[in-house]
Copies of this chain bind each other. A is one copy, B any other.
Amino acid sequence: MPRGRSPGYEVQRDAILAQAAHLFARSGYPATSMNQVAQACGLSKATLYHYFEDKYSLLVSLTDGQVSRLLLLVSPASRDSLTPAQAQQQLHALICSFVAEYVHAQDAHRVLTEDVKFLQPLDRERVLGKERDIVAAFARLVGGIRPDLDQALLAKPLTMLLFGMINWLFTWMKPGGSMSHDALAPMVADLFLGGLGALALPLGLDLPAGVLAQAGKHVKKRVTKPNLKGDSA
Using a CB–CB distance below 8 Å, which chain A residues touch chain B? 26-31, 83-85, 88-89, 92-93, 113-114, 117-118, 145, 147-148, 152-154, 157-158, 160-161, 163-169, 171-172, 178-180, 182-184, 186-207, 209-220, 222-233
Contact = CB atoms under 8 A, between A and B. Distances in A.
A214 B230 CA distance: 21
A28 B30 contact: yes
B164 A186 contact: no
B215 A196 contact: no
Contact of A88 (B184, B191, B210): B210
A126 B216 CA distance: 38
Nearest to A187: B203
Contact of A223 (B211, B225, B226): B211
A92 B209 contact: yes
Contacts of A179: 153, 157
